[in-house]
Structure formats: C-alpha cells, structure tokens
C-alpha cells in the first residue's frame, strides 16, 4: 500500500503555500487591472515641429485630437505637413509606451516571485 503524501503544508494558509501564492497572484491581478485602467484614462500627447503639429490620444490607443498650426498649412508643401503628422503620431506612440512601462513595469517584475514566471 502506498502512503498518501502530506499536502497540508502546500495547501495550507501559510504564505509559502499554494493559498499564499494564490493570494499573491490575485493581488497582482488587481494591481494590474488598476494600472491598465489608469493608462486607459490618461491622455497622452505627441508633437512634432516644435509643437506645430500635436496629436492627443488615450494611453490605451487611438487618436482623439489633432491640432495643426496654420503656419504649416502650405498647399504647395503638403509633404512637410504629412511628415509632421507622422512624427507627432510616432511621438505619441513613444509616450504611450513610456506610460505603460512606468505603470506596468513594477508589476511585471513582481512576476519573478511566482514559480515558472521569473
């Protein structure tokens, strides 16, 4: 007859047991959801041409507003305006990534404490 292993320490309420890991994972999930919500509610702006073109969007994605200074609206030079809009969009993307890294970075490093995720 085979002995059944004692799983009490693994399944018990101590911090090193499965329930402690589960509680830690639930806490991290709540923090992650809060950070994602904060990112989604944050307006981020990108600009180009020293502010001649500004693009605003949410931290989660999408563009909500584009502002173009009338000084750059030259029918004979549409290429410059198009380049400024692309530059402002790229700046917006970079700032979104920085926001996500700032808000989610501390949470992703916490995954190292969970077996198989570090």
Q: Tell me how far apart the alpha carbons of residues 78 and 76 are, in angstroms, rounded to a whole number.
A: 6
Q: Tell me how far apart the alpha carbons of residues 17 and 8 are, in angstroms, rounded to a whole number.
A: 9
Question: What 3-state DSSP class applies to 117?
Answer: coil
Tokens matching residue 15: 């911090």
Residue 74 has a CB neighbour count (10 Å cut-off) of 11
Report yes or no on 56 lying in a domain: yes
Q: What is the pLDDT of residue 118?
A: 44
Q: Tell me how far apart the alpha carbons of residues 109 and 99 are, in angstroms, rounded to a whole number.
A: 16
Checking if the pLDDT of 9 tops 60, the result is no
Contact 27, 102 (CB under 8 A): no
Q: What is the pLDDT of residue 17?
A: 80
In terms of pTM, does the model score above 0.75?
A: no
Q: Tell me the residue range of the domain where 100 lies.
A: 43-109
Per residue in 49-65, pLDDT (tens digit) is 999 999 999 988 889 99
Report yes or no on 2 lying in a domain: no
At 48, which CATH number?
3.30.1310.10
The count of structural domains within the chain is: 1
Report yes or no on 66 lying in a domain: yes
Q: What is the pLDDT of residue 53?
A: 96
């Amino acid at each position: 007859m085979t002995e059944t292993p004692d799983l009490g320490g693994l399944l018990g309420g101590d911090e090193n047991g499965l329930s402690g890991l589960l509680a830690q994972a639930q806490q991290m999930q709540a923090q992650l959801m809060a950070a994602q919500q904060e990112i989604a509610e944050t307006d981020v702006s990108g600009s180009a041409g020293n502010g001649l073109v500004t693009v605003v969007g949410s931290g989660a994605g999408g563009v909500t507003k584009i502002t173009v200074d009338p000084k750059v609206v030259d029918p004979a030079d549409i290429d410059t305006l198009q380049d400024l809009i692309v530059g402002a969009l790229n700046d917006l993307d970079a700032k979104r990534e920085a926001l996500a890294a700032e808000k989610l970075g501390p949470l992703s490093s916490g995954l190292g404490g969970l077996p198989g995720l570090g």
